[in-house]
Amino acid sequence: MSLNVAVIVKLEPDFSEGNISYNADGTLNRAETKSKLGAHSSVACLAAFYAKVNYGANISVATMGPPMSEIALSEAQSICDADSLHLYTDRIFASADTLATAEVLKKGIQKMKENENENNNGIDIIFSGHRASDGETGQTGPQTAWKLGYPFFGNVIDYHLNLKDRVVTLKRLVVLNGMDNIIEEIESPLPVFIALDPSYKPSFTTLSSRLKATIFEKNAEKKVANFKSYLKMFDHNSLELDPKEVGLSGSPTIVYKVERIPKGKMNRKAEIIDGRDRNQIKNIAEKILILNGQYGRS
């Protein structure tokens, strides 16, 4: 019984030190900042990898963005040993909001149905990350699911499949009566759209599945060395998209104005202590002792 999995990912700025660059006004300098596969996207890839190791899934990774987004696809392939990489790139896709992005992804994922192997009844599971880290755009996933007519499950922390009955059992975090982190267990027939909670970690709990995972990891390494041969590019023509429904013209969102968040006023004074200076340590220890005395602790 075959299983077809799609992962949608995003190329994001690398916010780590030494890679990020700022403009004079403090905004992000996108041209100078390096880019990489988003952290949430890599969690989605891990979930797909789990399906590969445990259920022999056929994995396609997709992203929409400029041609350089292929970096994200190759990084995704190195995590999940993907079998095909799809890049939706077209000048008219630029400046898309989440809805217009979802339109492209929908068509792309529908295309996967047609393009993949014969005994294929479409994509069974679509994985996405929780949200992007360079914008509050956690709605791309749900919108794509809605457009495709897939049931959507967010904040998923674990899942298992019953391939025979084509049913997924998944656990997700919910808030109930103001209580955080309640785990809800859901059973759903395939296909489904799953957005992973950032805390998701694939649970390979048997030695043989761990061994199998190492073999797939090695495969992935080999594939990535030659990732372009797995890469397929699509523009609005090949996706049969109406130019009016994508990019800026397909985006109902209107950004009226962007306000910079004003810097908060500092109301405490910090003192920097050099740990190598014994006197400074002595001083701070004395201060702590005095404070403790004030609050009546011994």
Q: Which stretch binds another protein (CB under 8 A): 128-136, 140-148, 182-190, 206-214?
A: 206-214
φ and ψ at residue 60, rounded to 5 degrees: -120, 135
Q: Which is nearer to another protein, 154 or 202 (CB)?
A: 202
Residue partners of 12: CB distance under 8 A and separation at least 6: 35, 36, 37, 38, 39, 41, 72, 132, 133, 134
Is residue 279 near another protein by the rule CB under 8 A? no
Q: Which SS3 state, helix, strand or coil, does residue 199 take?
A: coil
**Shortest gap between Cβ of 205 and another protein (angstroms)?**
5
Selected binder of another protein within 275, 279, 294, 298 (CB under 8 A): 275
Q: How far is CA 252 from the centre of its chain?
A: 24
Selected binder of another protein within 263, 276, 278, 297 (CB under 8 A): 276
Is residue 214 near another protein by the rule CB under 8 A? yes
Site string for another protein, 226-265 (x = CB under 8 A): ----------------------------------------
Q: Which is nearer to another protein, 254 or 261 (CB)?
A: 261
For residue 61, which of 107, 9, 133, 110 has the smallest C-alpha distance?
9
Dig out the tokens for 98 from the structure: 């989440």
Q: How far apart are CA 5 and CA 193, in angstroms?
A: 10
**Shortest gap between Cβ of 281 and another protein (angstroms)?**
11
Q: Which is nearer to another protein, 16 or 117 (CB)?
A: 16
Q: How far is CA 114 from the centre of its chain?
A: 25
| Distances, alpha carbon 154 to alpha carbons 39, 128, 186, in Å | 16, 9, 11
Number of C-beta neighbours around residue 14 at 10 A: 17
Site string for another protein, 57-96 (x = CB under 8 A): ----------------------------------------
Q: Which is nearer to another protein, 61 or 213 (CB)?
A: 213
Q: Which stretch binds another protein (CB under 8 A): 90-98, 121-129, 198-206, 286-294?
A: 198-206
β-bridge partners, 54 = none
For residue 15, which of 115, 169, 135, 152 has the smallest C-alpha distance?
135
**Shortest gap between Cβ of 211 and another protein (angstroms)?**
5
Contact 262, 256 (CB under 8 A): no
Is residue 205 near another protein by the rule CB under 8 A? yes
Dig out the tokens for 77 from the structure: 């392939």
Selected binder of another protein within 215, 248, 284, 288 (CB under 8 A): 215
Q: Total binding residues for another protein by CB under 8 A?
A: 12
Q: Which is nearer to another protein, 176 or 207 (CB)?
A: 207
Number of C-beta neighbours around residue 86 at 10 A: 25
Q: Which is nearer to another protein, 179 or 272 (CB)?
A: 272
**Shortest gap between Cβ of 170 and another protein (angstroms)?**
21
Q: Which SS3 state, helix, strand or coil, does residue 23 take?
A: coil
| Distances, alpha carbon 198 to alpha carbons 52, 135, 179, 195, in Å | 20, 16, 19, 9
Selected binder of another protein within 19, 23, 162, 206 (CB under 8 A): 206
Summarize as ranges the residues that interact with another protein (CB under 8 A): 204-208, 210-211, 214-215, 218, 275-276
